[in-house]
A = this chain, B = another copy of it.
Amino acid sequence: MSNPSLLILAGDGIGPEVMNEVKKIIGWYGEKRDLAFDVEEDLVGGIAFDTHGTPLTDATMEKAQNADAVLLGAVGGPKYDTLDFSQKPERGLLRLRKEMDLYANLRPAQCFDALADFSSLKRDVVAGLDIVIVRELTSGVYFGEPRGVHKEGNERVGINTQRYTESEIARVARSAFELARRRNNKVCSMEKANVMESGVLWRDVVTEIHQAEYPDVELSHMYADAGAMQLCRWPKQFDVIVTDNLFGDLLSDAAAMLTGSLGMLPSASLGAPMANGRPKALYEPVHGSAPDIAGQGKANPIACILSFAMALRYSFDQGAEAERLEKAVEKVLADGLRTGDLLGPEGGSPISTAEMGDAILAAL
């Protein structure tokens, strides 16, 4: 039997640097744990635009469709700010999400004990925090039509459309309920049903799926603005949060920042099962391309490494190996090793991207 396949799309900014460390880890699993992967690499984002004139070629899209899992670094940078909307680096990522139909984006917001003091929040508010935001990723205002900027009289008008179908809501709700069952059995659904009809439908469908299929899970609803507040006030009240594409974008970033561990947080974007039973899947760090520190060996590779751990768990059914990797990361942090982003105002001496990767390898 052939090895499972990984497509690596390192992307822009710090993407290639952090992905380098992941490649070492992948190599280690092949050598030491008999878990070899067929790895292919390709381009996405600004670098793809520079090379091919498009942020994602059809050939790369095809490879992604056929890979057992895609690992992505980051896309975007100021260099591409003036590009036309359709050619922006982000469009490459959005095309992957849409065409692979990766509707459930799992974003854990976890506070690593060794880093609890690094949060801008008080220690007791975040220590031990472990919640997951399940963000709908293939629909909503990111993809709805009509969209664009046009002229009306002598004014420009900008339009986007928030659009959700019943089945789009139902499937991501199921993902959230399934996940909650494997955790603390609590789901909080967030929308603005008080002002948006798409939010009314969201609330209705989540409630129906809950009653029909997951009555054992505790379900609550919250307006997204109140959700943003409660995340800042007492995030530990949550277990699994399910929300739409745009709210999920803001809320998961806020949640990530709360943990004080932005450079640490992975994500998994999952779709329907393929013929081999594995879900379509893309794994990427929550952080962006950080152009300000790109190419300097300063970036924290942990979010990208933990994204690979999520791949082990969700795509390759290797929960124990995923835990091994997560434990190695915890050990290195407990030992006091820190990239620059993990140093507080008191300072200290940061280690490089590669040193962090090597330390994790050694801890494995």
Contacts and interface: CB of A to CB of B under 8 A. Distances in A.
Contacts of A271: none
Nearest to A146: B161
A232 B122 CA distance: 12
A336 interface: no
Interface stretch (A11-19, A150-158, A304-312, A313-321): A150-158
Interface residues of A, number: 63
A225 interface: yes
Interface in A107-132: 120-122, 125
B257 A197 contact: no
A195 B120 contact: no
In the complex, the count of this chain's copies comes to 2
Contacts of A76: 194
A164 B155 contact: no
Nearest to A94: B195
A229 B254 contact: yes
A226 B231 CA distance: 16
A163 B148 CA distance: 10
20 contacts: A85-B197, A90-B195, A122-B122, A152-B165, A155-B166, A157-B165, A157-B166, A158-B197, A158-B202, A160-B161, A160-B162, A161-B161, A192-B246, A225-B249, A226-B288, A228-B228, A228-B257, A230-B257, A232-B232, A233-B257
